[in-house]
Amino acid sequence: MAKDASDLELALAAALRYEPERILVVGSATGRLDHVLATLLLLAADSCEGVQVDAQLGVAAVHVVRGERVLAGEPGEVVSLFAVHGPAEGVVSEGLVYPLRGEALVPGSSRGLSNAFGAPEARIAVERGVVLAVRPSGSVMAGSSCSRSRPLG
Report pLDDT digits (tens) over 116-134: 999 999 999 999 999 999 9
Mean model confidence pLDDT for the chain: 91
Residue 63 has pLDDT above 70, yes or no: yes
User: Domain 7-147 class?
Assistant: alpha beta
- In this prediction the pTM is 0.89
Q: Is the distance from CB of 55 to CB of 11 less than 8 angstroms?
A: no
Residue 112 has pLDDT above 80, yes or no: yes
Type of residue numbered 128: R
- Give residue limits of the domains in the chain: 7-147
Residue 74 has pLDDT above 60, yes or no: yes
Of 32, 38, 33, nearest to 10 by C-alpha is 38
